[in-house]
A and B are shown apart, each in its own frame.
Chain A
């Protein structure tokens, strides 16, 4: 657990305590609401998680890195951006991985493209996003994020 997760837990528990002291009924309602929210999202979240597990088995991040290392910059950037789109990797795996990519001479551009699409663009989270915010929102947000991930990558390449 990182510090922020702990802070969110502590903060929420304090909030819950104050809320209970002020209005127990309202607080019970909030807890019921939280439970209903969780119940509503549970199937989607477990689908997302098991989809990620599946994708990681079929496309291990290490293989992606090895593959991207052998391509030209343009191909490697597109490929790693697309691969980043289908996977969702926690930061503590993603950063060392990108670190190895850069060290291995793959170059900053594909690495950054991978990093950004990895977290910001999601095929696996798409169905949930669509349900919560509508199809148009999900399509526009994901495509713009993808496009800008590539722009960020090239800008990084130019600056660094």
Chain B
């Protein structure tokens, strides 16, 4: 059961793994070439992802929600759009590097529209990229594309904001401490809530992690509860 669930959660990974396995069997040279191609991207990822994770976590803990709402929330309007472009433009790394940052900003009250602006400008108009573009394609090309792209992003982020409701986004995950309850596995027995009510609560038929101060968490107690959970649905990374 657990294995099947894990496989389903990581469908994409399984597909890629099978593709590589097949390639290695049928055409080892192509398989090796693919691994070699991937090497560059692994390097690119290692250069940027650790620092993005640390920065996201630091911002999450130090910048209060009101501040983010003030800069990127509903009330920010034009100012929010401007800051979103600035954040995306001074970024580095591929578009997926923007994901953890945007999830955190979203959690703190940034609008869907501003999240889309950050993601898009992170992808196509960040400054290091523009410098490179001017070098190879000329300044006129770069400036024209920049202007058109900014206009396009302003328009389609507005459209997307109209279509996507707040409820369409997944509920906030308790990233804070790394304690999570796998809601797919949890069968709602309430054992964890009974044993450690400061940490767990029932949300409908499933247990979830409460907002709490991680420094106060009794680790031994937590580990005992994880052990006691009949479906081993409590995960802890810390």
CB contacts (< 8 Å) of A4 on chain B: these are 90-92, 126-128
Q: How far is the CB of B180 from chain A (nearest CB, A)?
A: 9
A78 contacts partner chain B, Cβ-Cβ < 8 Å: no
Main secondary structure of the interface of B (DSSP, over half): helix
B182 contacts partner chain A, Cβ-Cβ < 8 Å: no
- CB pair A91 B53 closer than 8 Å: no
A67 contacts partner chain B, Cβ-Cβ < 8 Å: no
- CB pair B103 A133 closer than 8 Å: yes
The interface on chain B, measured as residues whose beta carbon lies within 8 A of the other chain's beta carbons, has a size of 89
- CB pair B112 A49 closer than 8 Å: no
A120 contacts partner chain B, Cβ-Cβ < 8 Å: yes
CB contacts (< 8 Å) of B11 on chain A: these are 127
A96 contacts partner chain B, Cβ-Cβ < 8 Å: yes
Main secondary structure of the interface of A (DSSP, over half): helix
CA distance A51 to B38 in the complex (A): 8
- CB pair A34 B149 closer than 8 Å: no
- CB pair B175 A33 closer than 8 Å: yes
- CB pair A160 B140 closer than 8 Å: yes
Q: How far is the CB of A77 from chain B (nearest CB, A)?
A: 15
A90 contacts partner chain B, Cβ-Cβ < 8 Å: yes
Query: With A50-B20, A120-B120, A128-B96 given, is the CB distance from A29 to B156 under 8 Å?
Result: no
0/1 string, A141-160, CB within 8 A of B gives 1: 10011011001100110011
B55-63, B74-82, B184-192: which lies at the interface:
B55-63
Query: With A91-B132, A116-B124, A155-B148 given, is the CB distance from A53 to B177 under 8 Å?
Result: no
The interface on chain A, measured as residues whose beta carbon lies within 8 A of the other chain's beta carbons, has a size of 82
CA distance A114 to B71 in the complex (A): 33
Give chain B interface residues in 137-190, CB to chain A under 8 Å: 137, 140-141, 144-145, 148-149, 152-153, 155-156, 159-160, 163-164, 168-170, 175-178
Could you list which residues of chain B lie within 8 angstroms of chain A, going by C-beta atoms?
10-13, 16, 19-20, 23, 30, 33-42, 44-45, 47-58, 60-62, 90-96, 99-100, 102-103, 106, 112, 115-116, 119-120, 123-124, 126-129, 132-133, 135-137, 140-141, 144-145, 148-149, 152-153, 155-156, 159-160, 163-164, 168-170, 175-178, 214-215, 237-238
Apart from A95-B137, A137-B169, list 5 A-B contacts with CB within 8 A.
Answer: A5-B93, A5-B128, A12-B55, A33-B57, A48-B96
